Structure 1
Amino acid sequence: MMYRWNCRTITVALLAIYALVSLVWLRYRTEGWWIPRTTHAVVTDNLLDVQNATCFPPADSIVQFQKIFAMGFKERTDKHDAIALAASYTGLDVEWLEGVRAADIPPKALPAPAELGSWRAHMNALRHIVENKITSAVIMEDDSDWDVNIKAQMLELARGTRALQDTRGVPLSPYGDDWDLLWLGHCGIKSRGEPKFYVIANDTTVTPRAHQNEFVRPALAEDPNFEKHRLVFLADGAICSWSLAFTYDGARKALTALSYVGIDEPVDLGYNFLCTNILHVPYRCLSTFPSLLGTWAQRGPASRDSDITDGDKTWHEASSRSLTYSTMLNLLPLANTQTTIHAQWDDVPAPEIDLASFEIPPGYLYTPA
């Protein structure tokens, strides 16, 4: 009798331990470094509840999106490899979405003549967000690049977007609940509406003016006193769609305007028109200047750089646009577990930084006089 009782007790104990281990394993599996696979869970403040694994920097939490997608052609394995490596070394979880060639789109499905492959790839990504009810997602191009300090940057961005929205209490999204699109990667952008900014002063990751190549910028960014500051603001007039973040409703409204209604423009101008609120769909876009994410070109002939336009055989070294501490250009130091990261230019305030001690300065709200 005692023997049977002990066996039963041991069995129950083992089942309890198994259940506990399973829960811990599932939690580990579903919570990434930048984004969890689950919807936003609010405990105290979701600005600080996501950093559940080792990452840079060790203090504070990085803000979450449910998914990050990179779009590109299956045969561009070189770009796929680069995105996978950069994501791994900086603690991101990036999933791949296949690009679309214009020739593969049936004529009856064509809405407009401009850069159809890129447009359709974006529409597929937006539809994927809508069909799968993804609460928030990033869509990036396959040649996207980001700063090695992306997590610290995104955390301060979240503080800025919350401040601009006058967020009270704990929002459902770490970025506040009054936005549709975060334009994370662009080659030019303007501010919209009231002149109100979140200023991250003397941010070492800001691309120096001499190396900025954005075509347009907010008026405040023209002020020499703000050249070293990163600005967060309500945005429109953006060019280039290197990286965009959408809420579920933002993706649904974008799909409505750019596919169901349709416009006769490239997809980045479609998003531009959405943010400018001229497509009869209420839309709210937030962004930064300079751009947070950039684009890169690997070492080789210019003909390899783009899948939309054909370059020539001119040889160039690897380069990154809009970023001081490019992840793509620092893959070898990261692979060697080095914490010393190099800027891609020598004439910057800090040609080298130490990831173990580097910090993004806190920002503040600012309204120009």
Structure 2
Amino acid sequence: MPQRTDKRDTLALAASLSGIDFEWSDGVDGSKVPDKAIPETWDREETNATFGCWRAHMNIIQKIVKEQIQSALIMEDDADWDVNIKSQLVEFAHGTRYIMQQENTVTNSPYGDGWDALWVGHCGARNIESIDQRYWVTRDDPTAVPQTLWGYPRRQPNLTPASLNGTFNRVVYRPYRGLCMYGYALSLQGARRILEDQALEAAQVSDRALNRLCSHLSTSCLAPYPTLFGSHRPAGDPNKGSDRVTIGGDVKLKAETGQIVFSTKLNFKQLIPIGDDTIIKSQWPDQTLLKESNGTLEIPRGEGVWVTRKEYSDYPRPS
């Protein structure tokens, strides 16, 4: 929202320190979305805040389609990422190209051609266990959150096959039943698909719409796990974290970002005086592969693996 200058200050600083150029897309006051503009498929019992969130994402998707933008990364206003995000994305691109069997092909996008969505920031997203398929595995990645810190157990992928399993592995795969959208990329084709689906077919809450695109519309979606973008929660009043819902709870004494080891937003003081003595600390120094870094980690090169449906062991999840 334009009035959330606190979030804009923080995001502008984080992007500047990461060398990311971006533009704002204003949030939408759901109470000002006219009833005539809401698709007939939408549940009218949803809150105005949810309508506003949905319309804000739809406005961005409409812009991509109208201006023929070939691909775009969309981030929520509370998004955070690792200080090594660009190296992570290079490695992620190796994975997406491998899965789409384009690793030795000249493509227009560094992530390969033909994808609809790259779900790079989520709470969790399952994998499809009923088919034989390709995965990309980066082993002993110092920026990967260990399994003991994974959240949303209902949405975690089943990584029990021996070639996928590992405490500090990051896996690229085709997501299923994803949740949250701290960061996601759409190709022009993907934007057209989701705009048509949301405007005419089955409008719903934004992250569920992205999940529908990836899980039910026979599209090409790819995701990393652990995720590359997380949700930042500042210290202080927990309700400052969202304009859509009331979070509640006690005052937060310490800021945090889920799923991100070397958080950009938690290391502003260390990143501003860039120099040889820059030390970036892990959020969980006793549980991650490294306790700290100088901000220029080398991400290990991953490998492609083939997993058959018979290799998965039972992976119980809460109902």
Once the two structures are TM-superposed, the CA of residue 225 in structure 1 deviates from its matched residue by: 3.6
Preserved CA contact (<8 Å) 1:153 1:360: yes
1:67 maps to none
1:108 maps to 36
Structure 1, unpaired ranges of 5+: 1-72
1:118 maps to 53
Preserved CA contact (<8 Å) 2:173 2:222: yes
1:78 maps to 6
Size of the aligned set, in residue pairs, is 292
Structure 2, unpaired ranges of 5+: 312-319
User: Which digits, 9 at most, give the CA deviation of each residue in 1:123-175, with x for residues without a partner?
Assistant: 00000111111111011100000000000000000011111111142101111
User: Between Structure 1 and Structure 2, whose CA radius of gyration is higher?
Assistant: 1
Query: Is it true that 1:179 corresponds to 2:115 in the alignment?
Result: yes
2:213 maps to 274
Selected match of 1:340 from 268, 279, 285 = 279
Instruction: Report the Cα distance in structure 1 between the residues aligned to 2:265 and 2:16, rounded to whole angstroms.
Output: 11
Query: Is it true that 1:255 corresponds to 2:195 in the alignment?
Result: yes
2:16 maps to 88
Once the two structures are TM-superposed, the CA of residue 282 in structure 1 deviates from its matched residue by: 3.9
Once the two structures are TM-superposed, the CA of residue 266 in structure 1 deviates from its matched residue by: 1.2
Once the two structures are TM-superposed, the CA of residue 313 in structure 1 deviates from its matched residue by: 6.4
1:13 maps to none
User: Which digits, 9 at most, give the CA deviation of each residue in 1:71-116, with x for residues without a partner?
Assistant: xx00000111111000000110121000112101001111223421
Instruction: Report the Cα distance in structure 1 between the residues aligned to 2:237 and 2:13, rounded to whole angstroms.
Output: 22
SS at match of 1:220: coil
- The runs of 4+ residues in structure 1 deviating greater than 6 Å are none
1:324 maps to 261
Instruction: Report the Cα distance in structure 2 between the residues aligned to 1:360 and 1:182, rounded to whole angstroms.
Output: 20
Instruction: Report the Cα distance in structure 2 between the residues aligned to 1:126 and 1:274, rounded to whole angstroms.
Output: 13
Instruction: Please provide the CA RMSD for this pair.
Output: 1.7
Instruction: Report the Cα distance in structure 2 between the residues aligned to 1:283 and 1:270, rounded to whole angstroms.
Output: 13
Instruction: Report the Cα distance in structure 1 between the residues aligned to 2:220 and 2:171, rounded to whole angstroms.
Output: 17
- Give the counterpart letter for 1:83 in structure 2: L
- Give the counterpart letter for 2:14 in structure 1: A
User: Which digits, 9 at most, give the CA deviation of each residue in 1:211-238, with x for residues without a partner?
Assistant: 2213322211687942210000112210
SS at match of 1:275: helix
Query: Is it true that 1:295 corresponds to 2:235 in the alignment?
Result: no
TM-score normalised by the chain length of structure 1? 0.76
TM-score normalised by the chain length of structure 2? 0.87
Instruction: Report the Cα distance in structure 2 between the residues aligned to 1:134 and 1:178, rounded to whole angstroms.
Output: 15
Query: Is it true that 1:135 corresponds to 2:70 in the alignment?
Result: yes
Same amino acid, percent of matched pairs: 37
Selected match of 1:206 from 122, 125, 144 = 144
- Give the counterpart letter for 2:247 in structure 1: G
